Structures are given as structure tokens and as C-alpha cells.
Amino acid sequence: MSLLALFVRFTLIYIALLVALAVALSVLGVKGNSGFNTAALLGAVMWVCLSFAKKNGRYFSNQEKTRAVLGMLAIDTLLQAIVAFAVAGAAGVGAMLFALAFVGLLHALVIYVFVVLTGKQYAKQVAKGGG
């Protein structure tokens, strides 16, 4: 699997998880919050990282890991911006950009940590003979 394929898969999975969570929460009458968004992000990150490892028979090299984190962060930030502008429109652009930057920093940390943790999980699976 190439990094481009990983990014396409990440985008599709992340959007699908966001939509599924929104529908499920709506049906259950639960008001959504940023925690659900983060849960979708974590699921998408782990899913595509494990898919990459299984398809390639190895985890990311250091260079691939950096590119993967930055690419997933760019996709996440773009999706967050689209939703923010769709909801808020042009009103309060400054505040919206600040919020996007803040969320972007938090999501960058989340993406990086879970790319690393997923790599450790994959290494454990390989060590047990289940890679």
C-alpha cells in the first residue's frame, strides 16, 4: 500500500466514522461533542496504519511515519475547516481560524501518538507470530 492509498483510505474511513457516529448519536438522542470526533479520528488512524502494515508486511519507516502523520493531519484539518465554514459561514473568521489551529494542534498530537502506539501494537503482533 502506498502513502497515497493510505490517505485516500484514511479520508473515506474518517468521513464514514464521523457520519456513522453522527447518525447513531442522533438516533439515540445524544448531543455530540468533540470527544466523538476524536474517537472517529483515533479509529481511522489505527485502522489505516494497521492496514498499511498488513498489506506491506512492515510498519512505516521514519520518513513514511512523518509523511503519514502530516498527511493525516492535513486531511483532518481540511475536513474540520470545511465543517467549520459550513456551520459558521464567514462570521467570526478570526475566531474560527484560532479554533482550527487549536484543534489542529490537539489532533496532531493525537495522530502522532496513535501512529506510534499502533506501530508498537503491530510489532507485538509480529513478535507473537500473528503479523
Q: What is the pLDDT of residues 31-73, one digit of tens each?
A: 766 678 889 999 999 999 999 999 999 999 999 999 999 999 9
> What percent of the chain has pLDDT above 90?
65
Q: Tell me the three cell numbers of residue 46.
A: 489505527
Amino acid identity of residue 21, one-letter, is: L
| Sequence spans of domains, the chain | 3-127
Q: How far apart are alpha carbons 77 and 27 in whole angstroms?
A: 27
DSSP label at 60?
-
Q: What is the pTM of this model?
A: 0.88
- 125: Cβ contacts below 8 Å, ≥ 6 apart: 131
Mind spelling out the 3-state secondary structure of 3-48? HHHHHHHHHHHHHHHHHHHHHHHHHHCCCCCHHHHHHHHHHHHHHH
